[in-house]
Amino acid sequence: MNSTRNISVSFTGHRSYAGEADTALHKTLEQLYNEGFTRFLCGMAWGFDLAAGEAVLELRARHPEVELVAVVPYAEFSKLFRGDDMARYNRVTEYADEVVVVSDNGGDAAFRRRNDYLVDNASIVVAWFDGAPRGGTAYTVRRARRSHLPVINLMHNPQLELF
């Protein structure tokens, strides 16, 4: 097991995220930091991932020992971004402490490898998950649960049971 896993948090969430849980995200990050978590892994997709990455950068401004790891699914992934999302992606990768590219080529396998990396290198997952049975967020949440990792879902849905 990697030596930083016990202080690491990963994020997974839908690309449709538009800031609905920003307050809860910031509060959760501060609580996790107070519990000893200082390393945060961001999957770098637009939506929730980039919002989480930006929130970690804000946390690091208050707590310099915080580390942000940008986990990129494949080398040319940034070509999918446009406009404001491209600027956000560039900012998060530029200010990340580490950038990990998990695959040379795109496709579903690259996204699965990225999601596996997020679960395998953290001891807790923070999600923005609506319960949809398909997609990368569902895959990552299921894999985290099978790995007995706690999942904090910031999308309030009383019909979801993630713990």
Structural domain contains residue 142 = yes
pTM, to two decimals = 0.94
Structural domain contains residue 163 = no
Structural domain contains residue 40 = yes
Residue 92 near residue 50, CB atoms below 8 Å: yes
**Could you tell me the pLDDT band of residue 112, with boundaries at 50, 70 and 90?**
very high
Structural domain contains residue 162 = no
Phi and psi of 80, rounded to 5°? -80, -10
Whether residue 147 is predicted with pLDDT greater than 60 in this model: the reply is yes
Instruction: Give me the domain span that covers residue 106.
Output: 5-153
Whether residue 2 is predicted with pLDDT greater than 70 in this model: the reply is no
Structural domain contains residue 9 = yes
| Mean pLDDT, residues 35-59 taken together | 98
Q: What are the strands of the beta sheet with 39-42, ordered from one edge? A: 98-101, 67-72, 39-42, 8-13, 124-128, 151-153
Structural domain contains residue 159 = no
**Could you tell me the pLDDT band of residue 78, with boundaries at 50, 70 and 90?**
very high
Whether residue 3 is predicted with pLDDT greater than 90 in this model: the reply is no
| Mean pLDDT, residues 56-77 taken together | 98
Count of domains forming the chain: 1
pLDDT tens digit sequence for 83-105: 999 999 999 999 999 999 999 99
CATH number of the domain that residue 67 is part of: 3.40.50.450
- Closest by CA to 11, choosing from 46, 56, 41, 47, is 41
Maximum separation of any 2 CA atoms in the chain, in Å: 40
> Could you tell me how many residues make up the chain?
163
What is the rounded distance in angstroms from the CA atom of residue 103 to the CA atom of residue 24? 32
Structural domain contains residue 147 = yes
Rounded percentage of the chain residues whose pLDDT exceeds 70: 94
Whether residue 156 is predicted with pLDDT greater than 80 in this model: the reply is no
Lookup result for tokens 């590219």: 101
Structural domain contains residue 158 = no
To the nearest 10°, the Cα dihedral for 51, 57, 60, 65?
100
What is the rounded distance in angstroms from the CA atom of residue 139 to the CA atom of residue 98? 24
